[in-house]
Amino acid sequence: MVFKKQKNAFFQIATELYNTAILQNQILKPYEIERAFEDAPYERIEVDAFCKEFMKEVGKRIGFGMFIKAENGFRPANKVLVPAVLSSDEKEWLKAILNDDKINLFLDHTTQQKLSEALAQDVLLYEKKDVYVQKNTTQQDFTDENLQRVFKTVLRGIAERKHIRFEYYKRKNDVVTTISALPLKIHYHGVNDSFQCIVFDIERNFKTTTTLNMDCIKSATIIDDIVTDQKKQLENTVETAEIELRNEKNLPTQCFMLLSDYKKTVFFDEARNLYHISIQYYDFERQDLFKNILSLGEYCVILSPASLVEQIKKRLERLSFISAQDAPENAVAQEAPR
């Protein structure tokens, strides 16, 4: 069972509070203790009730024995820290990540070896044969040393907010291009099982993002002297699409599962029996979203932006064109009577 009392937020907060007090040699004031528990995912009245119990003095102690009364507050009752102990389930899960190809992008072989030895006594959460994951054929080879090197450089660039000089080639013509860019995020596509690096090209004045397939990056070098905050830049690239979805059979569930990662505002129009959905997405995700909407067919209508509406019209026109132009033998043109 994964729903555990030891993982309750009050346990977690008490642990952090206690360890911080030891590490920083702090005497905690009652209000500091109460304030820390305010972050627990509970209603205010429940947090207050817990705090009341926690602050109850038994002898000279509070916090069910965790803290002892000191001058102007409370100090930890023990000298040792609350140890970080991983449960068996957590270790089984950690062992499972070592079983995945992508781990090579994060951990060196020696680190994997050390961890693997430390977890030798634990069972593996599941064998690959026990779980079938339906995804597309990946084009990225996670054992490729250059990909691993580039990936780690990008990780460092993002963590240290530094610019990177990329040498990359487009699959189409294999011409190597060089750009200096601010790496924003590593984007993982769950269906394609592939990584992309989302960057702001410095020469384009941070106006639009560029997406680089990780396997197309030949080299990445950190430019040490520039540091920029990435988060604000990314917010400028958000676009909004408005769609209408008919409330028929399993369609809403299918659609909402498909759109589960997007920021959306939903309004159910009872009179027309349809959902009005406003979706926010980053500019580099436009085509992926468009493809998803198309998969819902006529049940999902794009209202805006105009560019997506135009794109769908062009696709419909193209279908008429290919149907009329070259209908294969035994195939009937996809032109139903109107």
Decide if residue 175 touches other proteins (CB under 8 A): no
CA distance 54 to 266: 42
Given the rule CB under 8 A, which of 25-33, 154-162, 174-182, 200-208 is the region that contacts other proteins? Answer: 154-162
The CB-of-168 to other proteins minimum distance in angstroms stands at 16
Among 109, 232, 249, 338, binds other proteins (CB under 8 A): 338
Residues 306 to 335 in contact with other proteins, rule: CB under 8 A = 309, 312-320, 322-323, 326-328, 330-335
CA distance 269 to 276: 7
The CB-of-202 to other proteins minimum distance in angstroms stands at 20
Of the chain, the end-to-end C-alpha distance in Å amounts to: 57
The CB-of-50 to other proteins minimum distance in angstroms stands at 8
Among 147, 198, 212, 216, binds other proteins (CB under 8 A): 198
CA distance 199 to 196: 9
Measured from the CB atom, the residue of 203 and 291 that comes closer to other proteins is 291
Read off the amino acid at residue 184. Answer: L
Q: 3-state class of 304 per DSSP?
A: strand
CB 161 within 8 Å of CB 107: no
Residues 81 to 100 in contact with other proteins, rule: CB under 8 A = 81-94, 96-97, 100
Burial, 28: exposed, middle or buried (Cβ in 10 Å; 0-12, 13-18, 19+)? Answer: buried
- Report the interhelical angle of 88-98 vs 109-118 (nearest 10°): 150
Measured from the CB atom, the residue of 3 and 31 that comes closer to other proteins is 3
Among 25, 72, 134, 205, binds other proteins (CB under 8 A): 134
Cβ count near 106 (within 10 Å):
14
User: 47-86 mask for other proteins (x: CB under 8 A)?
Assistant: --x---x----xx-x--xxx----------xxxxxxxxxx
Measured from the CB atom, the residue of 176 and 288 that comes closer to other proteins is 288
Residues 232 to 291 in contact with other proteins, rule: CB under 8 A = 252-254, 256-258, 260-268, 270, 277, 280-282, 285, 288, 291
The CB-of-311 to other proteins minimum distance in angstroms stands at 9
Contacts of 22 (CB under 8 A, 6+ apart): 76, 79, 81
| H-helix or E-strand spanning residue 226 | strand 217-227
Read off the amino acid at residue 111. Answer: T
